[in-house]
Amino acid sequence: MTPAVFLQALRDWRRRPDDALLHLLFAALLIASAAMLVQDFGQLRKAQAALSAPVPGLETPPAAPLGPAREGGPEAPAADDALNAPMTFDLQSDGRLAATGTIAPGTATLFAAEVEKRGSYVKTVVLRSPGGSVQDALAMGRLIRAKGFATEVPTGAYCASSCPLVFSGGTERRVGKKAALGVHQVYGAAVPAGTAPPDGMAQAQRVSAECQRYLRDMGVDLEVWLRAMETPKDKLFYFTPEEMARLKLTTPALVPLANPAAAPVPPRG
């Protein structure tokens, strides 16, 4: 309340006490409303900052395949513009569902809808992806395992970052010749200017624990995740075919049994 308004209120009080009291109450209400608006605006800014803050596992894959993190390992494949677009699904012959492109937030929902629509025809999910949202990759992998689908990275294809998590969901997992399967550290998007970063360490630890638990459930050696955590985000640890087999990223080739009736019953889980 300005001094002039206060003096005018005192003069009004002498002449019309009731009107002056109403004026004072109205002014007090205006001041209280303004204070509440300032407080609400501050809370809104904090909420916006939280929404725009980085969340580990929601990284945007680079425009081109990353280089190898070690000498003597598999080389990165050639760039492919189709990998940079949001992931699409195409049902091909022999029950092969091609999943090509970046795993964006919401891709797992689209994948579930595709499986719901075509699930009875799908036998194998064929992956070509630079990765993306870890949470979506985990959800896709768990759905693949629940449906009993196989997974495949075809000859010369690229499956990196969070894509190997999807690949690990296959009941059978196959990688073609000169295909690139690589992992690196989980990271988030850049923090907008003027916003406070969240507790990134706690979030990264939660994501890491979730990924390790997932790989264990899928029957994959946890050394895969160790390789991811020790590899900088601007490189990829590309696995050799021998490492994929040793770490159970790929499954052994099935050999037809001479007496199918004598086949052992596989354990549940």
Decide if 88 is inside a domain.
yes
Decide if 74 is inside a domain.
no
pLDDT at 195: 44
pLDDT at 49: 41
pLDDT values of the chain reduced to their tens digit, one per residue, 269 residues: 555 655 565 565 455 555 555 555 655 665 666 566 545 545 544 434 433 334 444 455 555 577 777 766 666 666 677 888 999 999 998 899 999 999 999 999 999 999 999 878 999 999 999 999 999 999 999 999 999 999 999 998 999 999 999 999 999 999 999 899 999 988 764 444 444 445 567 777 888 899 999 999 999 999 999 999 999 888 899 999 999 999 999 998 644 444 434 444 444 44
Is 140 found in the same domain as 22?
no
Decide if 46 is inside a domain.
yes
Q: What angle do CA 256, 265, 120 make, to 5 degrees?
A: 75
Is 203 found in the same domain as 116?
yes
Tokens 């020790």 correspond to 230
pLDDT at 237: 92
Q: Are strands 96-100 and 88-91 parallel, antiparallel or unpaired?
A: antiparallel
Is 138 found in the same domain as 12?
no
Is 154 found in the same domain as 209?
yes
pLDDT at 68: 77
Q: CA 243 → CA 20, 195, 196, 247, distances in Å?
A: 85, 42, 41, 6
pLDDT at 74: 63
The parent domain of residue 203 ranges over 81-189+197-246
Q: Say how far residue 260 (Cα) sits from the centre of its chain.
A: 41
pTM over 0.85: no
Q: What is the DSSP string of 35-52?
A: HHHHHHHHHHHHHHHHHH
pLDDT at 166: 98
pLDDT at 67: 73
pLDDT at 152: 97
Is 155 found in the same domain as 232?
yes
Starting at the earlier edge strand, list the strands of the sheet with 96-100.
Answer: 88-91, 96-100, 124-128, 150-153, 173-175
Collect all residues with Cβ–Cβ distance below 8 Å to 199 and sequence separation of at least 6: none
Total structural domains within the chain: 2
pLDDT at 168: 97
Tokens linked to 149: 């689908």
Decide if 208 is inside a domain.
yes
pLDDT at 25: 62
